[in-house]
Each structure stands twice: as structure tokens, then as C-alpha cells.
Amino acid sequence: MKPWLGIGMASYRIANTHENWFTLAEVDIFSDITRNTKAHEATSIEHRIDELNQRIDRLSLITQSLWEMFRDHMNFSETEFRERIVANDESDGAHNAKRSPKVRSCPQCGKNINSAHLYCEYCGSIIEGEITI
């Protein structure tokens, strides 16, 4: 079939890559769907960013409150607190302001897995022993 030009909107034909034919009205519908999908994805991403920002704010408040409680009731100094933060940061072997998961090998398949997991994500074996976080 060849594209042809006729009278009226429904008679304009456009081919896609699979040699199917669509009217311009159908193409407009596809464009609207694509545009709406992209707008929804952008809104969804913005919503997720807002959720993460709220979570950071909540964790900051909790951390500040816990620090004040330890300082006031347990007589910890700020120096001791900072030293503990550095020690915890370096406990995974890197001074990078984050905790990296500890890794162990699955006894069944030998692949590296997070030591906090109860099962191997590769072979499904249940992991026995102590969980390390």
C-alpha cells in the first residue's frame, strides 16, 4: 500500500516502521498519550524527589534529637561524637561519609552477596549464620 492524499482528515495516511497505516487523528492520539506519559513520569519523579527530601529532613531532625539526648543525658562530648562518626564511617574500610554493605560469598553458588541478606539473590539459597549490617 502507498500513502495517499484524499479529502478530509481521515484520508491522510502515515506509515509506521511496521508498514501499518494510521490516520492523522490516530497519530494525534498517540502523540497525546506520549505527551501525557512523559508529563506523568516528570510528575512522578518530582513527587519522589519531594518524598526523599522529606525523609532527609525527618532523619536530620531525628539525628539532631538523638545527639542532644546523648550529649545532655550521657555526658558525651562533641569530640567523642565526631570520633564515633569517623570510626563508623571507616568501619567498612573507606572514609567516604557512607556505610557500604559488607559482602560475603554464597556457600551454594559462590557469588558475592550483601551480608545482611537472608538468602542469595542469585541462586535463592537460604544463608545460614550471623547477619552483618
54-82, pLDDT tens digit by residue?
Answer: 999 999 999 999 989 988 998 888 899 88
Percent of the chain with pLDDT over 90: 19
Task: Tell me: pLDDT of 16 over 80.
Answer: no
Stated as kind and residue range, the H or E segment containing 13 is strand 13-15
Mean pLDDT of the chain: 76
Q: What is the model's pTM?
A: 0.45
Asked if pLDDT for residue 89 goes beyond 90, the answer is: no
Burial pattern 73-85, b for ≥16 Cβ within 10 A else e, equals eeeeeeeeeeeee
Contact between 130 and 124 (Cβ < 8 Å): no
Considering only residues 16 and 20, tell me which one the structure prediction assigns the higher pLDDT.
20
